[in-house]
Structure 1
Amino acid sequence: MATSGVRFAVGRLFKLTRGLGRPSRVYSTSQSFAEVLRLPKRQLTKLVYPLQELEQYLVPDTRPDLHLRIFDPSLEDIARAENFFAATTTNRIEYLSSAVRLSHAPELPRPEVCFIGRSNVGKSSLIKALFSLAPEVEVRVSRKPGHTKKMNFFKVGKCFILVDMPGYGYRAPEDFVDMVETYLKERRNLKRTFLLVDSVVGITENDKIAVEMCEEFSLPYVMVLTKIDKSSKGHLLKQILQIQKFVNTKTQGCFPQLFPVSTVTYSGIHLLKCFIVNVTGNFNGSHFK
């Protein structure tokens, strides 16, 4: 499958197109994303814009709930974002350090994004997928829930810091509350929190507690739906509509668009990378208000 090439990074010039038809500017992009661009339009949409691919299966009166067009970057912008995640001699991507207290966290004058979620939601797998173009970066993935016990900090070039937080719920660290709540409440350069929800299971009571915490601290956050490859289209659509309704009616600080992803097929990964680059202020323009 063409998406297997996503795991490798070989930079080269490739002429991108918006809408797969009109000529655009030339940007340097990885061979992996060039392979993605060669896919038939339907496969490309499913891989890069999974919500749009699912739209065709919805009845018309349910479509407005999905907010499909709030963040809708061009393929050109997504290719630009890929470069931020590609390790080169001038764009070093590396593990920085781990911390169990905010006072132990590295202090760098760069924007940060953090990833939180319940144990076994696929958080480490997602971060590993985001760093697929930097294979030398070691992100430990375990089949046992609760593997991550500390806050792990990764430097993405000179642009931003990505933080892998311990999982909550089953096998969470004993000092989880002190560690995570303090970070979320006091970290000044935190630009966006990514709250991972298992798309097979849906929002759990522990997830609702995490939402309440983000709301209490007035954090801007995003819901990322993991493991979308494990559900039938019908089940996935049902979960998306239920979670979207929850976001619309029960939250204030949550970004109104959901981000479904799969670390198996890489569906939604490219779009999520582009969103991260955007919210950390590394694009000149903004695609949403």
Structure 2
Amino acid sequence: MDVQLNLHSEPKVLKMLLGEIETIRTSRWQQYREESHPMLKRFTQQELNDEAYATYKNLLTNRSRRLPSREAVLAISNYLECTSSERNDLLLAAGYLPEHHELEGRSLKLALEQSHLIMNALPLPAFIATHKFEIVEANKAFCLLYEIPIEELPPQHRSMIHLHFNSEYPIRSRSTFDATAFQLWESHAVYGIQTFKQNNIYSRYDAWYLSLIRQFNEINDFKAYWSRKAPDSESDISQSKVVMARMGEGNEWMPIRLRQIHISVSSRMYPRIEAFLPEDEPARKLFTWLGCPFEGILQDKLKSYIC
């Protein structure tokens, strides 16, 4: 629902909106005055008029006094490559409610606490992830399964991207041991990146997002997968993972099949629990050794969370 405006306030609101737009537009124009924009944008008033809002010049010259719709404001913000904060400034200036795509503050804290309780009650290898793909916490079964002490990793490496791509950690080598496993690893890599991009599409110009991508680009051939598209909707996380695992040091390595599932704890997609189910008999035996027997009571408990 948008904030309602009366007819007397609309000219004042329009003036405020145009002021905010021009402040951001001028900032972008100055930023790319000396260097070329990757898409050759010039951020002029005429270009904004041509590319984002066809009556923008009319608004500036008072030939039109009609307040742009919410959709128009969002189109202008996309053209201007606004950060989430700048986009909300434009929406508020136009009298529309701001957008909040992720939980913050106390709401986020409560969601993380609930995730912690559910993960500890769910006897499966699992970890808690945020929309930035940060791994907030992982349970003992997950750490044993992949032989990764999450709490001992550098904070900047506690992410799904690092664990999947970084050759310093065992997931990549143990998930690419033959052609079939490598193909599945690639499929999950592409799907994961596309999920990250889609979920954070409104934050792609935010400082945290740009900083994170710079960090990711330093990881082994991450750039090669950044722009790749998933072949189709079936070639994604719905497929099994194939990894090499063992029941403790000194025991024989064996390939097992796992399926990754997502458990959200609020109306938002994140934070959420990423858990793993056994897909074949070797995996079920390993899960029993991990203290996660996927039989009877576990299956019933899992249904209570995902139904």
Question: For the superposition of Structure 1 and Structure 2, which TM-score range results when normalised by the shorter chain?
Answer: under 0.3
Whichever structure has more strand as a proportion of its residues is 1
Whichever structure has more helix as a proportion of its residues is 2
TM-score under structure 1 length normalisation: 0.27
TM-score under structure 2 length normalisation: 0.26
Structure of higher RCO (CA pairs closer than 8 Å, 6+ residues apart): 1
